[in-house]
Amino acid sequence: MPASPPTIIEVAIPVRIDQTFTYRVPERLAVQASAGKRVLVPFGRRKVTGYVLGPGDAAAAELKEIIEVLDAEPLITPAELAFLRWVAAYYLFPLGEVLKTALPAGINLTSRKRQVAAADGSSVTEEVLAGGKRVKTELFYRSLSAPAGVTQPRGRGGEILTFLGGMEEAPAHLIRQRFGPCAPQLKRLRELGLVTAAAREVYRDPFREEVFEHDTPHILNDDQAAALARLVAAGDTAAFAPFLLHGVTGSGKTEVYLQAIAHVLSRGKTALVLVPEIALTPQLVRRFKRRFRCGIAVLHSGLSDGERFDEWRRIRRGEAEIVIGARSAIFAPLERLGIIVVDEEHEGSYKQSEGVRYHARDLALVRGKMDKAVVLLGSATPLVTSFHAVREGRLGYLELPRRVRDLPMPAVELVDARGKRGETFLPPLAAALAENLAVGGQSLLFLNRRGFATYLVCQECGFVLRCPNCAVTLTYHRRRERHFCHYCDYSIPAPSVCPGCESPSIGLLGRGTERVEEEVWELLPEARVSRMDRDTTSGKGGHARILRGVAEGRIDILIGTQMIAKGHDFPGVTLVGVVSADATLNIPDFRSAERTFQLITQVLGRAGRGDAAGRVIVQSLAPDHYAIRHAVSHDVAGFYAEELAFRRETGYPPFAFLAALHLSGTNGAVVEQGAEQAARLLQQLKGRLRSRVEILGPVTSPLGKLRGRFRWQILLKAPARSDLHRLVSAFRGAIDLPAQVRLVIDIDPVEMM
DNA sequence: AGCACGCCGACT
DNA sequence: GTCGGCGTGCTC
């Protein structure tokens, strides 16, 4: 006998409360209200969208009735729900919020209270239901044989008719694109009975306009072929199989992704490709569209809500076999998932730091394990934790040690800049820039700091210009004649005298890309110079404009921040100069050496053209530091060995697990009290649980005050993940902070295998 | 996260 | 005298 439909259901609501809710289902909705669908429910004084988890327990509390079932079919499968439950439990975030994050934005209905002017002039509060993305429809035109007595119209109407005659049918946007605004003509054609129009559901496709030429798989070199063979073998076992694809820059990792995915598709499975940032998706999508004729969907935050909803629906319906997207694409509703590729797995942008604080790189491994898929982490500079997992045998190792066509690694010259802080270009770099310009080569200059000068200091009284909201110095931007806070965007006009003592002897110290640009003008006035950083790429297509300039040879020297180190191909670049390799080395973070090594290695990989290895000059104030030494000698294994020794000694990941509790608020004293209260509770719980977690703090966050909020943090270090998780969960259940103090729990992303 | 209730400062 | 600031509590 079939189970009778539940009359009581458990519902997850997207609010910051760590509990689910139970509702009654009226008889008329009983059959429809199944797990995975959305329901509109009364919640407090408003109506909100919730997610049905399954049958509920008749609790003691009085239950409200659901108002409506919003979906005909479930939005998520039981397997997806299991994954999202894992995410909620692991990151200590309410399941309803996790579900909302995983689903396309803007689909939910909520009631809002609004002040509405009444007829008599007074105002009344009115409840309005808002939200809910709809499917988009478009008119499709089709030509008919002309009815008797109707002559073919002249002018634009006739042109359109001829155009339609040559094809089955055409959507309105295509006609508009070819003929410009033509609504009156189309209306006339319909009235004459020469065309018919039918509304049809369409997808808002971000790549609609483009046509793609096909290409065929490239021939692999021996390393690529060996890597592919292992991926193919793993794919055929249909078991969870995680790999690190460690390939030097230019070694052809993407071609391995493409062919591994082709194999997965041939087995009737699907593929998910994660990329670190939106700017890199178009070029990758084009490469995929040229190779594959199956459905490819794109998911990232740069799409409009409508586009994202449509891409999501295509995937949900099984119309896309490949999904390419940024971190949130880890939640893509792909079924029969065969492979997850995480490109540039070391990139920090895989970490979501608002709302649900997940790490997509880690979740790829979790989801891959649940779905029995191959997980392929690709990088030229893998995370230290990934490298360690390889050594422990938890991650398969695929190596591409050579560049395609056996292009040699660039020759790197390390220049000791100690005692020469005032000089932007030491003689070797200045000479190399001039030589390269003379022979018509392109150069890249890398400095990971934007603006002109890092800070303003008074030579008279020692005053340093700082942000009133954040504990950082203000960076001087010459073009805009202002000092900016790079954390909160606060700015003030550049003062001409010291704001403290009014002395005119103020100095601008520390250099950024803007100043490097100026100094290149002075050094090489005939060079065509451009700069690429957040200040010059802010507008729409700002990225593309500069990249095109370089590609078309209109730029001799490109100066940039880490933007130029990542992903983009600069095929004509024969010289790379690192102005100061140390800018990122001294930030107070145990990962700063790792980040510096990765950044330098990535930027070195930009050198080389055709079959010629490029030339690289690295200026450094710390030429003996192991991160810089190993980066310039391309000694990846050497760096990891030293970094792992350092991590072992200091007790950082992968030899310990971390969590951070961030407390913030506008009242410093209250936040500090909250932090102390939290630390005391942690100590108590630690004793009770006999936990081996180390509790550091409370301490003020590195930035103390950020964007006007006071910040304190408590760091937790544990030898085992389970230990850490038990303590933090217990803490979260027990803590009762004043409402002004906001608590954010950051479970540090470390290896998940 | 909203949303309303509630209790203290500067305004028509 | 009220408008409105945000501190506090609640949501099946």
DSSP codes of every residue in A49-91: EEEEEEE----SSPPEEP-EE--SS-SS-HHHHHHHHHHHHHT
Using an 8 Å Cβ cutoff, are A397 and A362 in contact? no
**Minimum-distance residue to C6 (CA–C1'):** A740
Q: pLDDT band for A506, please (50, 70, 90 cuts).
A: confident
Q: Per-residue pLDDT for A122 more than 70?
A: no
Nucleotide nearest to A15 (CA to C1'): B1
Q: Per-residue pLDDT for A553 more than 50?
A: yes
Q: How far is the CA of A32 from the C1' of C10 (A)?
A: 30
pLDDT digits (tens, 9 = 90+) for A554-608: 999 999 998 888 767 777 888 999 999 988 888 878 899 999 999 999 998 888 7
Q: Per-residue pLDDT for A540 more than 70?
A: no
Q: Is the CB of A700 under 7 A from strand B?
A: no
Mean pLDDT calculated for residue range A658-666: 87
- Positions of chain B reached by protein Cβ under 7 A: 1-4
Nucleotide nearest to A16 (CA to C1'): B1
pLDDT digits (tens, 9 = 90+) for A606-617: 887 666 678 899
Structure confidence at residue A347 (pLDDT) = 94
Q: Is the CB of A112 under 7 A from strand B?
A: yes
Least confident segment among A126-135, A282-291, A343-352, A647-656: A126-135
**Euclidean distance between CA atoms A339 and A368, whole angstroms:** 7
- Reduced to 3 states (helix: H, G, I; strand: E, B; else coil), residue A647 is helix
Q: Per-residue pLDDT for A205 more than 50?
A: yes
Least confident segment among A91-100, A114-123, A549-558, A593-602: A114-123
Q: pLDDT band for A311, please (50, 70, 90 cuts).
A: very high
pLDDT digits (tens, 9 = 90+) for A419-452: 887 788 899 999 999 999 999 889 999 999 999 9
Structure confidence at residue A385 (pLDDT) = 94
pLDDT digits (tens, 9 = 90+) for A740-749: 888 889 887 5
* Residue among A250, A429, A277 nearest A347 (CA): A277
Mean pLDDT calculated for residue range A11-40: 94
Q: Is the CB of A739 under 7 A from strand B?
A: no
**Terminal CA-to-CA distance of chain A, rounded, Å?**
42
Nucleotide nearest to A130 (CA to C1'): B2
Q: State the architecture of A7-110 in CATH terms.
A: 3-Layer(aba) Sandwich (3.40)
DSSP string, A429-440: HHHHHHHHHHTT
CATH topology classification for A407-452+511-648:
Rossmann fold (3.40.50)
Q: Is the CB of A16 under 7 A from strand B?
A: yes
Q: pLDDT band for A491, please (50, 70, 90 cuts).
A: confident
Q: Is the CB of A113 under 7 A from strand B?
A: yes
Instruction: Look at the block and give the residue holding tokens 């909803």.
Output: A309
Q: Per-residue pLDDT for A310 more than 70?
A: yes
Q: State the architecture of A222-405 in CATH terms.
A: 3-Layer(aba) Sandwich (3.40)
Q: CB < 7 Å to strand B — which of 18-57 in chain A? A: 44-46
Q: Is the CB of A114 under 7 A from strand B?
A: no
pLDDT digits (tens, 9 = 90+) for A150-191: 777 777 878 887 887 778 888 888 878 887 778 888 788 788
Name all protein residues with C-beta less than 7 A from any atom of nucleic acid chain C.
A 15, 17, 19, 21-23, 41-44, 59, 61-64, 666, 738-740
**Euclidean distance between CA atoms A724 and A729, whole angstroms:** 9
Q: pLDDT band for A373, please (50, 70, 90 cuts).
A: very high
Q: pLDDT band for A753, please (50, 70, 90 cuts).
A: very low
Q: Is the CB of A111 under 7 A from strand B?
A: yes
Backbone angles phi, psi at A250, to 5 degrees: 85, 20
Q: How far is the CA of A16 from the C1' of C6 (A)?
A: 19
- Is A458 marked within a binding site? yes
Nucleotide nearest to A742 (CA to C1'): B1
Mean pLDDT calculated for residue range A678-703: 89
Q: How far is the CA of A652 from the C1' of C8 (A)?
A: 40
Q: Both tokens of residue A650?
A: 């200091």
Structure confidence at residue A420 (pLDDT) = 81
- Is A467 marked within a binding site? yes
Structure confidence at residue A507 (pLDDT) = 86
Least confident segment among A29-38, A95-104, A457-466: A457-466
Q: How far is the CA of A439 from the C1' of C9 (A)?
A: 73
Q: How far is the CA of A489 from the C1' of B10 (A)?
A: 31
- Is A461 marked within a binding site? yes
- Reduced to 3 states (helix: H, G, I; strand: E, B; else coil), residue A106 is coil
Nucleotide nearest to A741 (CA to C1'): C7
Nucleotide nearest to A46 (CA to C1'): B3
**Euclidean distance between CA atoms A215 and A397, whole angstroms:** 29
**Euclidean distance between CA atoms A517 and A557, whole angstroms:** 9
Q: How far is the CA of A123 from the C1' of C4 (A)?
A: 17
Q: How far is the CA of A703 from the C1' of B4 (A)?
A: 35
Residues 6+ apart with CB under 8 A from A653: A384, A385, A647, A748, A750, A751
Structure confidence at residue A460 (pLDDT) = 85
DSSP string, A502-537: --S-EEEEEE-HHHHHHHHHHH-TTS-EEEESTTTS
**Euclidean distance between CA atoms A196 and A194, whole angstroms:** 7
- Positions of chain C reached by protein Cβ under 7 A: 6-12
A148 compared with A594, residue with greater pLDDT: A594
Q: CB < 7 Å to strand B — which of 125-154 in chain A? A: 125
For the domain spanning A657-747, the CATH number is 3.30.70.600
**Euclidean distance between CA atoms A323 and A275, whole angstroms:** 11
Q: How far is the CA of A748 from the C1' of B5 (A)?
A: 39
Structure confidence at residue A240 (pLDDT) = 97
Which residues partner with A374 through β-bridges?
A: A241, A339
**Minimum-distance residue to B3 (CA–C1'):** A45
Nucleotide nearest to A57 (CA to C1'): C12
- Is A182 marked within a binding site? no
DSSP class of residue A609?
B
**Euclidean distance between CA atoms A49 and A33, whole angstroms:** 13
Q: Per-residue pLDDT for A750 more than 50?
A: no
DSSP string, A312-337: HHHHHTT--SEEEESGGGGG---SSE
Task: Give the best-scoring range by mean pLDDT among A187-201, A220-234, A516-530, A661-675.
Answer: A220-234
Q: pLDDT band for A198, please (50, 70, 90 cuts).
A: confident
Q: How far is the CA of A739 from the C1' of C9 (A)?
A: 10
- Is A294 marked within a binding site? no
Q: How far is the CA of A73 from the C1' of C9 (A)?
A: 37
Mean pLDDT calculated for residue range A325-353: 95
Nucleotide nearest to A24 (CA to C1'): C12
Task: Give the best-scoring range by mean pLDDT among A68-82, A107-121, A418-432, A731-745.
Answer: A68-82
Q: Per-residue pLDDT for A752 more than 50?
A: no
Nucleotide nearest to A97 (CA to C1'): B1
What integer best gives the mean pLDDT of chain A? 87
SS3 content of chain A, % helix, strand, coil (to 5): 35, 25, 40
